[in-house]
Amino acid sequence: MRAEPQDFSRVLSSMCTEPHPAAREAAETFLATNPGDPGTYQTVAELEGDAVDALGEIAGLDEPHGYIASGGTEANIQAVRAARDLAATDAPNVVAPESAHFSFRKAAGILGVELRTAPVDSDYRARVDAMTELADEDTALVVGVAGSTEYGRVDPLAALSDVADDAGALFHVDAAWGGFVLPFTDEEWHFDHVGVDTLTIDPHKMGRAAIPAGGLLARSPDVLDALAVDTPYLESTEQATLTGTRSGAGVASTVAALEALWPAGYREQYVRAQNNAEWLADALDERGYDVVEPTLPLVAADVPRSLFARLREEGWRISRTGAGELRVVCMPHVTREMLESFVADIDALART
């Protein structure tokens, strides 16, 4: 194959990153294994148990039920699917803030569930009053986001958990991106803090595992039972995942990354990323651009479209929020030097 490997030196838009070296090695070692067939691939199946236990520790759950999914999309789809199948209604709906990831739209479409989205407040967090208004006796799932895709915001999760309770619905927290940074903040986001039923936490984002590694966790085994189907031709009897055959790379690299980084390495990574985000926010603010304060390591700022386009021409991999702001995700591969060079390019381009 004649292709250069991915160069991360100008990647500012991705929620994925370079895997930790131990995770990369583990991914390669277990590339040809299939945790979907635990009767045959026993080692990787055991590793999956270790991965779920470790994710449970991060997410405040002593006896976690779950699995390593292909990513946050699968985990969110499965949370909706389980809630739909556990709900006592023929016309289930899901109530989510409009800041929820687009995977919930996929989930609703695939699963025939109505998705009701509530407006967010001026700080881009779910409005509890609006969520309450949308929830009713047919609500199967209420969704809160812990680290939103566009602005890195954490919804008022305790209040949203009450909304779910009042409606007799399950409460799902999407911490796909935030799950590996929130443990080092004051946010109340996980099973031990609030009444969470299911949670998405992706090792292949801030967790520095190799793609594909998403995480679905559930408080009750009923959730996994609701997802399980019989597997007649395999030695194991049932399978709760959405995909059948799946790569053991994500599972093994999750365990390796967690062994290497939890908790001290992730803490250090978070502090560096947050400092970088604040540095960039200040730099953009000093240059007169409107900046959305980074509560987690993600910066959004209103820069002119022409500047955005020219930065992309310079090779910067940047993206935009739905409202059109520049969006920079300070992932572990994003160094201060990269950001300095990015700001220097902004200065140079703004002059011409």
For residues 101 and 219, which CB has a smaller minimum distance to ligand PLP in the complex? Answer: 101
For the chain, the farthest-separated pair of C-alpha atoms sits apart, in whole angstroms, at 67
**Rounded least distance, CB 15 to ligand PLP, Å:** 4
CA angle, corner 258, sides to 253 and 260, nearest 5? 95
Q: Which amino acid is present at 258?
A: L
Distance of CA 340 to the CA centre of its chain: 27
For residues 96 and 346, which CB has a smaller minimum distance to ligand PLP in the complex? Answer: 96
For residues 64 and 71, which CB has a smaller minimum distance to ligand PLP in the complex? Answer: 71
Question: Can you tell me whether residue 165 is helix, strand or coil?
Answer: helix
Length of the chain: 352
For residues 82 and 346, which CB has a smaller minimum distance to ligand PLP in the complex? Answer: 82
Task: Return the closest-CA partner of residue 218 out of 243, 232, 200.
Answer: 200
**Rounded least distance, CB 180 to ligand PLP, Å:** 12
Binding site for ligand PLP (CB under 6 A): 15, 71-73, 76, 101, 103, 145, 149, 174, 176-177, 202, 214
**Rounded least distance, CB 29 to ligand PLP, Å:** 22
For residues 78 and 139, which CB has a smaller minimum distance to ligand PLP in the complex? Answer: 78
Q: Which amino acid is present at 66?
A: G
Strand partners, 320: 326
Q: Which amino acid is present at 286?
A: E
Q: Which amino acid is present at 60?
A: G
For residues 15 and 135, which CB has a smaller minimum distance to ligand PLP in the complex? Answer: 15
Residue 38: is the preceding peptide bond cis (ω within 30°)? Answer: no
**Rounded least distance, CB 302 to ligand PLP, Å:** 21
Q: Hey, what are 202's tokens?
A: 């992706």
**Rounded least distance, CB 147 to ligand PLP, Å:** 6
**Rounded least distance, CB 81 to ligand PLP, Å:** 15
